[in-house]
Structure 1
Amino acid sequence: MRSMVRAAALRGLESLVDRLGGDGAELLRRFRVPRGALDAEDAVIPSVTAGRLLETAAAELGCPDLGLRLAEQQNADVLGPLAVAIENSQTMGDALDCASRFLFVHSPALTVTLVPDPQGIPGVRGLRYGSTEPVPLPPQAIDLGLGLLHRIITLLYGGRYGLHSVHLPHAPLAPVSRYTEFFGADVRFGRDAAVLRLPAAFVDTPLQGGNEMLRAIAVEFLEGHFPEPGRLVAPRVRAALSQSLGSAQVRVDAVARLLQLNPRTLQRYLAAEGTTFEAVLDDVRRQTAHRLIIHTDLPFSQVAAMLGFAEQSGLTRAVRRWYGRPPREVRRRGDARLGTT
Structure 2
Amino acid sequence: MAVIRSAGLRGFRATVAELGGDADALVREVGLPVEALDTDDLLVDDLAVATVLEVAAARLDCPDLGLRVASRQDLGMLGTLALAVQNSPTMRDALECTSRYLFLHSRSLSLSLEPDPYAVRGVVAIRYGSAPGLPDPVQGTDIGLGVLHRMVARLVGGPYGLRTVELPYHPPAPVARYEEFFGVEVRPGRPAALLRVPASLADRPVAGSDEGTRRIALAFLAGRSPEAPVDLTARVHAAVAQALGTAEVELPAVARLLAVHPRTLQRRLAGEGTTFAAVVDEVRRDTAWRYLTTTDLPLGQVAGLVGLAEQAVLTRCCRRWFGATPTAVRRAAR
Q: 1:15 to 1:31 in 2, by over 3 A?
A: same
Q: 1:128 to 1:265 in 2, by over 3 A?
A: farther
Corresponding residue number in structure 2 for 1:12: 11
Identity among equivalent positions (%) equals: 44
Corresponding residue number in structure 1 for 2:330: none
Question: Alpha-carbon deviations, 1:117-156, whole Å to 9, x = none?
Answer: 0111111110000222533021111111111111111112
Alignment partner of 2:59: what SS?
A: helix
Corresponding residue number in structure 2 for 1:52: 51
Q: Which has the higher mean CA deviation after the structures are superposed, 212-221 or 38-47?
A: 38-47
Q: 1:265 to 1:119 in 2, by over 3 A?
A: farther
CA contact (8 A) 1:58 1:64 kept: yes
**Equivalence map 1:214-233=2 (5 Å):** 214-224=213-223, 226-228=224-226, 230-232=227-229
Q: Give TM-score, length-normalised by structure 1.
A: 0.69
**Equivalence map 1:168-183=2 (5 Å):** 168-183=167-182
Corresponding residue number in structure 2 for 1:115: 114
User: 5+ unaligned residues in a row in structure 1: which ranges?
Assistant: 267-341
Alignment partner of 2:16: what SS?
A: helix
CA contact (8 A) 1:64 1:174 kept: yes
Distance in 1 separating the partners of 2:111 and 2:209? 21
Deviation at 1:44, TM superposition (A): 1.4
Amino acid paired to 1:204: D
User: 5+ unaligned residues in a row in structure 2: which ranges?
Assistant: 235-250, 256-261, 287-334
Deviation at 1:191, TM superposition (A): 0.4
Deviation at 1:54, TM superposition (A): 0.6
Distance in 2 separating the partners of 1:19 and 1:234? 35
Alignment partner of 1:125: what SS?
A: strand
User: Is 1:210 paired with 2:209?
Assistant: yes
Q: 1:26 to 1:79 in 2, by over 3 A?
A: same
Corresponding residue number in structure 1 for 2:35: 36
Corresponding residue number in structure 1 for 2:139: 140
Distance in 2 separating the partners of 1:177 and 1:262? 46
Distance in 1 separating the partners of 2:35 and 2:229? 28
Alignment partner of 1:36: what SS?
A: helix
Distance in 2 separating the partners of 1:264 and 1:45? 20
CA contact (8 A) 2:50 2:139 kept: yes
**Equivalence map 1:54-133=2 (5 Å):** 54-132=53-131
Corresponding residue number in structure 2 for 1:283: none
CA contact (8 A) 1:84 1:218 kept: yes
Alignment partner of 1:32: what SS?
A: coil
Corresponding residue number in structure 2 for 1:164: 163
Q: 1:86 to 1:185 in 2, by over 3 A?
A: same
Distance in 2 separating the partners of 1:80 and 1:236? 20
Deviation at 1:245, TM superposition (A): 3.5
Q: Which has the higher mean CA deviation after the structures are superposed, 92-101 or 254-263?
A: 254-263
Distance in 1 separating the partners of 2:49 and 2:132? 14
Distance in 2 separating the partners of 1:119 and 1:251? 48
Q: Give TM-score, length-normalised by structure 2.
A: 0.71
Q: 1:118 to 1:221 in 2, by over 3 A?
A: same
Deviation at 1:47, TM superposition (A): 1.1
Q: Which has the higher mean CA deviation after the structures are superposed, 257-266 or 122-131?
A: 257-266
How many matched pairs? 257
Q: Whose radius of gyration is greater, 1 or 2?
A: 1
Distance in 2 separating the partners of 1:231 and 1:133? 19
**Equivalence map 1:274-293=2 (5 Å):** none
Deviation at 1:55, TM superposition (A): 0.4
CA contact (8 A) 1:51 1:137 kept: no
Distance in 2 separating the partners of 1:186 and 1:236? 44
Amino acid paired to 1:257: A
Corresponding residue number in structure 2 for 1:257: 277
Q: 1:258 to 1:17 in 2, by over 3 A?
A: closer
Distance in 2 separating the partners of 1:233 and 1:22? 33
Corresponding residue number in structure 2 for 1:154: 153
Deviation at 1:30, TM superposition (A): 1.7
CA contact (8 A) 1:9 1:38 kept: no
Amino acid paired to 2:80: P
